[in-house]
Structures are given as structure tokens and as C-alpha cells.
Amino acid sequence: MIEAMQAPEQLRACFARLRAGACRLAALPLDALLGRLGRLCSVWQAGSPARQHAAKLIGGVFGAYTVEAALNALAMSLHAPILKAELARELGRADLLDSWQPDELGIGWTRGYPLGVVAQVLAGNVFLGGVIALAQALLTRNAVVIKLSSEDSGFTELFAKTLLDADDDGVLRSSIAICSWSSAQDALNQVLREEADAIVVWGGQAAVDAYPADRCRGRVIHYGPRLGIGFVLDGADLAQTARDLAWDVALWEQRACSSPRVVFVEDVADLPAHVASALSKALTDVRNRLPARPLTLDDKAEVTAIRELAYWQEHATILAGPRSMDHTVLVVDRAPAEIPLGYRTVCVIPFRGLENINELAGAYRSGLQTVVLAAPSSRWANAAELLAQAGFTQIAAAGSAAARFLGLPHEGEYALRRLIRLVGVDLGAGPLVEPDRKVPDVRLK
């Protein structure tokens, strides 16, 4: 099923095929689309062959609990009522792409249309990325080119196969292409820049830089590198906060953009030291539910280097499990310019005063997205307002950083809205219309 692209002509031919398929997909009624997706609910139920196959593909990177919980969420999200509710929330109404809707003021009609063929350039950090990319395209009735990451586990192809098995008349098959090529083959990247009606880029800075808006024909949407940050305020339940933060750190092995890597702790009554100690213990305990990925010799050398550099350059206090390298908590006086990545590594940094949140976050402004907040309920309203003003677009309660399922905006916008174009029919009303004209009695379907 994966099309290994070798030459630009091959990818251009793929786009030509998808443009023909896009017309069929655009005409597919919503209920017919949701019916196809709904057939996958049983395919992805616990114990099914697809689930067993997926567990084998992904199990080497993520623990069994993480995989099972994520696949349970996937199966749940395929139900038609859930998808309709998501469409209504993101687009204003679920049938926006199916019919014209009269304007509330009675002056015209509106309807959404797909962009055409969308390219989704995937990252390899979280295995559900390919499913999200497919869902975004299909729910907005766009044909899609998926460019796999070199780190792809095989899960995207497996899910796409189950999707096409539920496609009884070939509408989806003619609208989906799962492709692979090296990002170093810029002639192929150039085809995406020239042909795609929109390009959605997930991943690191190199991936984002490969598709600048001024070099692309269509709409460009970047979901680039992000830094997970936490804030712990005085008055939070220390034991519960430590357990919750440890869960957020360990669930996706810090491969998700929401995974906390920096935790600012209000500097009151030696609270930073207490949080760091409790978090280190909690990261040891969380291994019972979320075992750490086994480290290679190279991994262990990297952890050693992280600890040594933090000690000598940042004068960090280092906390870790006895005779263990599966997590590291670094207590430092100020936010380091380079944040260690992976291996369940967390920097704990004291700060004074909520009014300084904007200054603290400013050092990482280009990477702001998810912030994890641990605070007593009485302080949430003020803290949330200040965090929003500082530039964060997702504020999560500790223990739920990676729990987002459906319904909330991503990076400050509803993703589906960015993959459609709205068309308005203006029948004319107001002071600037021709004075003696009659408003047409138009009814659109």
C-alpha cells in the first residue's frame, strides 16, 4: 500500500489520480462518510486482530498501557455521534460541507468546500499522528497525500488498510495515498510545494523549514517543535501533584509536544526542592504502570552527558532513582537555554510571583503550546489568564497533559477550519445596495 516515491513524475501522477478522487469524495454525503468510519469501531476493539498487530508494531517504543489506552481512544472516536459533535464544534455545524445554510440576518447563504488535495507531512514521535492526519483530511472531504516519517512504526499503513477495507465503493481508496521518500530528495518536496492545495507539516524545525509559505502554492499549516512546560503554585497538593506530573512525563516518553520537560515551581518555603524530591520518587513509582523504555549503551551515555553538563554548567542538583538511569530531575536556578530532551528528564526551576510568568515563558516563546498547571482551585482563574496572555494555547491540569481527546483547539485554532474554504452568497441588504432593487427570493440546497 505504501508508495515509495522515486521520481517527481511519479508523485505528480499520484496528485493527478487524487484530484479525480477528490471530486468523488467532495460529493460523498456526511452520513456515508461516517458510516465507513463507524465500521472501524469493531475492527479496533480490544482483542481484535488489528489491535494485536498494532501492539506488536508499537510496543518497542511505548509501553503496553500507553498503547492500549491510545487505541481505546481511537476506537471510541470512530463512532458517528462523536465525529458529528466534533464537526459541529470545529466547523459551526456538522453539515457545513453538505448544504447551504441561510445567514442568520437573512441576507445570504454560506457553505464550506474542501480545498482539494491536502499533503500531510508526518512526524514519527507519536504513532497516532497518521490517524489524525487522515481524519483531518477526510472529515473536511479533502483527498490526502500522507508523507510518512522515516521513524514511522507501520501503524499508519495498518490503520489505512483497515479504513480501505471498509470502503465498499472505492471513494476513499481513490482519495488517499500513503507515500514515503527521504526528506533529502528535495525534488519530491518541490512537487508537494507546487501541487498541494494545503500542506500540513508536523515535526521538527527542519521539516517546517522545508515548506515555507512563500514557496508553496497552497495553504501552509505548521505544527512545529514545541516545549512542554509545567507550573506548580503554592497550595497545590504536593503528593498528588508529583504523581500527576510523573504521569505526564512518562506516558509518551516525552516524545509528545505536551510532555513536560521544564517545571517552574513557586519559590515559597523551599517548595521547589520538595517538588523535585517528590517528583523523582513519583517517577520511580510510575514505572509500575508505565515501565521506562530499556536504554541502549548509547542512551546511557547520553543520560550521563545530560547529568554531567547540568552539574558543571548549570550547577544543578541531580535527583534520580537509586542505581537507575530511567529518569533525571535537575534542579537549577534559572531556565537553561538548552533543554534536555527525552529519557524522562525534567528541569525544576524556582520562580517568584505569577506576574513573572510572561517573562519566564518569553525565553521559549517560539515553542509555547501546552502548559501543565498544578494549583489550588482558588488560584486557577488568575493563573489561567496570565498563562494565556503569556502565549500558551493549551492549559492542562496536571496528570492530563496528553489526555486531550476531542473538542479543544490545537495551537490556538480549530484544525478542521483551516482545511476548508467558506463561500458566501450575498443577496444584498443594507445602506449600500441599489435603492430600488428587489432582494432575490433564492433558496439554495
Same domain, 355 and 206: no
Q: Is residue 442 part of a domain?
A: no
pLDDT tens digit sequence for 197-254: 999 999 889 999 999 999 999 999 999 999 999 999 999 999 999 999 999 999 999 9
Same domain, 306 and 360: yes
CATH number at residue 93: 3.40.605.10
pLDDT greater than 90 at residue 403: no
CATH number at residue 244: 3.40.309.10
Q: How many domains does the chain have?
A: 2
Same domain, 221 and 236: no
pLDDT greater than 70 at residue 404: no
CB 34 within 8 A of CB 83: yes
Judged by average pLDDT, the poorest of 323-327, 402-406, 434-438 is 402-406
pLDDT on residue 103:
84
Q: Is residue 432 part of a domain?
A: no
**Average pLDDT of the chain to the nearest whole number:** 93
pLDDT tens digit sequence for 347-394: 999 999 888 888 888 888 888 999 999 999 999 999 999 999 999 999
Q: Is residue 388 part of a domain?
A: yes
Q: Provide mean pLDDT across the span 111-124.
A: 96
Same domain, 254 and 361: yes
Q: Is residue 297 part of a domain?
A: yes
Same domain, 239 and 373: yes
Q: Provide mean pLDDT across the span 38-50.
A: 94
Same domain, 200 and 250: no
pLDDT-derived band at 407 (thresholds 50, 70, 90) equals low
Closest CA to 263 of 204, 183, 331: 331
Q: Is residue 261 part of a domain?
A: yes
Q: Is residue 405 part of a domain?
A: no
DSSP state of 295: P
Copy the grid coordinates of residue 149: 516519517
pLDDT on residue 406:
58
pLDDT on residue 427:
86
pLDDT-derived band at 72 (thresholds 50, 70, 90) equals very high
Half-sphere exposure of 150 (CA within 13 A, CB side): 7
CB 410 within 8 A of CB 396: no
Q: Is residue 430 part of a domain?
A: no
pLDDT tens digit sequence for 278-287: 999 999 999 9
Q: What are phi and psi of 24, to 5 degrees?
A: -65, -40
Q: Is residue 406 part of a domain?
A: no
Q: Provide mean pLDDT across the span 147-168.
A: 94
Same domain, 199 and 241: no
Same domain, 257 and 383: yes
CA angle (247, 250, 252) in 5-degree steps: 115
Same domain, 133 and 68: yes
Q: Write out the residue range of the structural domain in which residue 389 sits.
A: 228-397
**Global confidence as pTM:** 0.92
Same domain, 260 and 152: no
Same domain, 120 and 191: yes
Same domain, 240 and 300: yes
**CA 311/CA 317 separation, integer angstroms:** 7
More confident residue, 402 or 320: 320
